[in-house]
Amino acid sequence: MTFETLLYETPAQHVVRIVLNRPAARNAQDTRLLYELNDAFDRAAQDDAVKVVILSGNGPHFSAGHDLREANAVEAMAQFDTVGTWCGFGCAGAEGRMAREKEIYLGFSERWRNFAKPTIAQVHGKCIAGGLMLVWPCDIIVASEDAAFQDNTVAMGVNGVEYFGHAWEMGARKAKEMLFTSDWITAQEAHRLGMVNHVVPTEQLGDFTLDLAVRIAKKPLFALKLAKEAVNAAQDGAGRVSAMQAAFAMHQLAHTHNMLVHGMPIDPAGMPQAVSGRPAR
């Protein structure tokens, strides 16, 4: 299995590191990157020698979010085997958009959250909106001192990213402030809020994360899987799934409203420029 947008590495026994590798695009997520990332997780899942997966990114930033410059995004879906069952990505109106986002945004993020083995997000630089949908599904987040997190989608006329984990990650009040203002959350504040496990000097990020993965990989794999499933069940029992589904429905309503009012799925008045001037979500 080869990848165009990722690196798949084995830096230690029982540990795999998946590296987002679109540095010129600040690791913005096009259709290919997301399907390849899903394939990489599947590869790690099916390898019984793998106990822990690290997710990191090449270049100055972890991820600038969804790649809004991708041309023919719907046509790109035809190149890959779908994971969900909605399909109909080329259908007119809300049907096609909802199907696509249910597949590659909410669907993939939820699938990675329920990936059986422990996962660690290794985050540096900027992590914007869609980038949150890569790190929030991970079990542990390690951030460099220069890392910063943002969901700027309310400024773009949408209620939040498709994988709406805000309240679960930082509590209801801070989640509202993050969404209402589109302000950055520093690594230090994210750590205080409980969204990030560790903040380390940038030059130590890779070594620290790998050392943590190696410590985890010394445990029996079956016990690790069961422990993860137990904690996930506690979150789900508190209503996480139904809350996220409701937020996703509101997200689709916002897209439809914007199409009717502005002729595009987001409000152009609030469309930000992400790092290096690249529009991102």
Q: Name the pTM for this structure.
A: 0.95
DSSP letter at 197?
S
Give residues with Cβ within 8 angstroms of 153, minimum separation 6: 129, 159, 160, 161, 179, 182, 266, 281
Show me where the domains of the chain are located. 6-277
In tens digits, the chain (281 residues) has pLDDT values of 799 999 999 999 999 999 999 999 999 999 999 999 999 999 999 999 999 999 999 999 999 999 988 988 889 999 999 999 999 999 999 999 999 999 999 999 999 999 999 999 999 999 999 999 999 999 999 999 999 999 999 999 999 999 999 999 999 999 999 999 999 999 999 999 999 999 999 999 999 999 999 999 999 999 999 999 999 999 999 999 999 999 999 999 999 999 999 999 999 987 654 333 343 44
CATH pick for 6-277 out of 3.30.1520.10, 3.40.50.300, 3.30.365.10, 3.90.226.10: 3.90.226.10
